[in-house]
Structure 1
Amino acid sequence: MDLSQLGTPTGPMIRVHGGFANRMYRLDTDQGSFAVKELNLVDRRWVYRIEDVFRFERAAFAAGVPMPEPILAGRDVLVHRWVAGETVPEAPVSAASAFEIGEILARLHGLDVEWTDMSTEDPMPPDWPELAERAVATGQPWAEELASQVETFLAIAYFVDTCERPGPVVLTHKDIQPWNLLARDGRPVLLDWELSGRLDLAGELGSTALSLSKGPGFDDIQPAIFRSVLDGYVAGGGALPPSGPSWFVFMIGGWLGHTRWNVLRCLAGVEVGTGPDLALSHESVRNGVRGLPDMFSRLPELETLLV
């Protein structure tokens, strides 16, 4: 993409490390500062719907949703106005922030935005035994842990494919996690919209509320923070869907797919050139191999958060 319309650079573009899927750079020009995201098109798990996402972002920004201003969108690059703020740690957010994010979700779900992508999710590949064998044969550092959890991963994949989603389906962000938020003047700013799309409402609310109410594991979930997200959603005009395991199937399925994608990147053993660095892929696999069985075993416990 031609970035000359952003102004005359006042220095080189600077890589901002830490992205789990793409690569981010900061560009300072005489017209301001910009976040330039290089999209990974080499080995993505799905096709990016750039035009749909950019249209949704522009509508959300116009509606007053706290987020970076969307500036440009191309086949492999997204540009936003740079937003200064504090990173949000992977820990329970404040009740006020949780409530506000619930309100923001209700506002997003009320937007009337054209969305041309009507594709559905593909079944989760049941190839975990083969992946574990390849990991052991190639000496991956997490291979033995994965091999010991193959049956659990097959059960998780079956759950993701068969869990009933009650609806309704909404157009939404789909990835509100601490690492996709900034805090500015004590209030949340939503980042990283490229996964936006249509999703069962329960899956969006469950993923968001759980992510904002816990730390890295599942031993410190704060039910009051979880409920604050839902209270904010209702206060913003939203209606809660029926309780059940569907509230957590999207988070489990997304994590499972992300883990499998990083397993394949690690088995290839080369830096692809786009997307996360290989070391970050290994870290993502280790987190998935240890965290997914734990979350899956706690489903009955997690459902008590909905009562």
Structure 2
Amino acid sequence: MDLSWLGTPIGPMVRVHGGFANRLYRLDTDQGSFAVKELNLADRRAGYHAEDVFRLERAAFAAGIAMPEPIAASAGMLVHRWVEGEKVPEAPVPVAYAFEVGGILARLHALDVAWPHVASEEPTPGDWRELAARAAATGQPWAGELQAQVETFLAIARFVGACERPGPVVLTHRDIQPWNLLSRAGRPVVLDWELAGMLDLSGELGSTALSIAKGPGFDDIRPEVFHAVLDGYAAAGGGLPPPGPSWFVFMISGWLGFTRWNILRCLAGVEASTGPELALSHESVRGGVRGLPVLFGRLPELEELLLRR
């Protein structure tokens, strides 16, 4: 890729490891430091609307939302100004930080940005029994665990397909998780906008609030952090949708699809030239096979959490 327009390099471009879907590099030039992201177009789970996402990012940045400055976007590459900050661990964030995240979402949802794509969800795949059989036949290291949870995964797929989304549908980030956030002077910076698009508001709020209110599992969920996101959203002028399972269906659906995508990558057994390394796909499958049944089993507790003010 030709990046000469970013200035004269003052060192080699450096790979930054850890991405779950794409590959990230840091480039330092005489014009500054840049984050260069190589998009995985070979086996994406959904199409990527580069120009539309870039337009949303530019509007969000102009509105003062804390994020890396978007510099350029093409079908296979994104360039942003590099932002220094502390990584956010997978642990409950401070209440004040969560309150600010809620405010960021409200300001983002209030932007007037045209989005030509209709919000839609693909049918939830129900081939978990077949996938488990293929995993066993090919000796995948997590095959036994998947086989033991096949009925649960089929139940999860049925739930995702049947759960009603009350609306409204908003144009939003869609993936605010600890690994897509930085902390700069104790305040949030939102990274990785490439999955942005239309989403039911309850799904965005529930996914965001839960992800930053808990640790790696679901044994340490801080209600005060969860509700701080909602309080920040309301304080910034956002209206909260009614409580219900729809608050968590997007998180479950997204994790289900991500797990299945990684299962297919592992079954293919090929180290792809883009996207996550095969070892990371195996790690993601293990996380999904172990974590999704726990999350699904905790749905009644999570719905109760919504009512606990």
- Structure 1, residues 47-76: CA drift from partner, whole Å, max 9, x if none? 101111000000000000000000010110
The yes-or-no answer on 1:300 pairing with 2:300 is yes
Report SS of the residue matched to 1:9: coil
Aligned-partner residue type, residue 62 of structure 1: A
Query: 1:31 and 1:113 mapped to 2: Cα distance?
Result: 30
Q: Is the 8 A contact 2:119 2:198 kept in 1?
A: no
Query: 1:10 and 1:29 mapped to 2: Cα distance?
Result: 5
5+ residue gaps, structure 1: none
Query: 1:84 and 1:212 mapped to 2: Cα distance?
Result: 20
Report SS of the residue matched to 1:79: strand
- Give 1:118 deviation, angstroms: 1.4
| Aligned ranges 1:1-80 → 2 under 5 Å | 1-80=1-80
User: Could you tell me which residue of structure 1 aligns to residue 212 of structure 2?
Assistant: 212
Aligned-partner residue type, residue 239 of structure 1: G
Query: 2:179 and 2:119 mapped to 1: Cα distance?
Result: 27
- Give 1:10 deviation, angstroms: 1.1
- Structure 1, residues 33-53: CA drift from partner, whole Å, max 9, x if none? 000000000001001011110
User: Could you tell me which residue of structure 2 aligns to residue 104 of structure 1?
Assistant: 104
The yes-or-no answer on 1:253 pairing with 2:233 is no
| Aligned ranges 1:173-252 → 2 under 5 Å | 173-252=173-252
Aligned-partner residue type, residue 163 of structure 2: C
Query: 1:86 and 1:127 mapped to 2: Cα distance?
Result: 40
User: Could you tell me which residue of structure 2 aligns to residue 89 of structure 1?
Assistant: 89
TM-score, length basis structure 2 = 0.98
- Structure 1, residues 121-148: CA drift from partner, whole Å, max 9, x if none? 1111111011000100111010000001
Report SS of the residue matched to 1:55: helix
| Aligned ranges 1:268-287 → 2 under 5 Å | 268-287=268-287
Report SS of the residue matched to 1:33: strand
Query: 2:274 and 2:121 mapped to 1: Cα distance?
Result: 24
- Give 1:2 deviation, angstroms: 3.0
RMSD across aligned C-alpha pairs, in angstroms? 0.7
Report SS of the residue matched to 2:21: coil
Q: Is the 8 A contact 2:181 2:188 kept in 1?
A: yes
Aligned-partner residue type, residue 86 of structure 1: E
Q: Is the 8 A contact 2:119 2:199 kept in 1?
A: no
Query: 1:224 and 1:84 mapped to 2: Cα distance?
Result: 28
- Give 1:11 deviation, angstroms: 1.3
Aligned-partner residue type, residue 161 of structure 1: G
Query: 1:160 and 1:6 mapped to 2: Cα distance?
Result: 44
Report SS of the residue matched to 1:205: helix
Query: 1:192 and 1:158 mapped to 2: Cα distance?
Result: 30
User: Could you tell me which residue of structure 2 aligns to residue 262 of structure 1?
Assistant: 262
Please list every run of at least 4 consecutive aligned residues from structure 1 whose deviation after the TM superposition is greater than 4 angstroms. none
Query: 1:185 and 1:40 mapped to 2: Cα distance?
Result: 32
User: Could you tell me which residue of structure 1 aligns to residue 118 of structure 2?
Assistant: 118
User: Could you tell me which residue of structure 2 aligns to residue 128 of structure 1?
Assistant: 128
- Give 1:119 deviation, angstroms: 4.8
TM-score, length basis structure 1 = 0.99
Percent identical among aligned pairs is 76
- Structure 1, residues 246-267: CA drift from partner, whole Å, max 9, x if none? 0000000000000000000000
Query: 2:82 and 2:127 mapped to 1: Cα distance?
Result: 41
Aligned length: 307
Query: 2:9 and 2:74 mapped to 1: Cα distance?
Result: 20
5+ residue gaps, structure 2: none
- Structure 1, residues 228-272: CA drift from partner, whole Å, max 9, x if none? 000000000001001000000000000000000000000011111
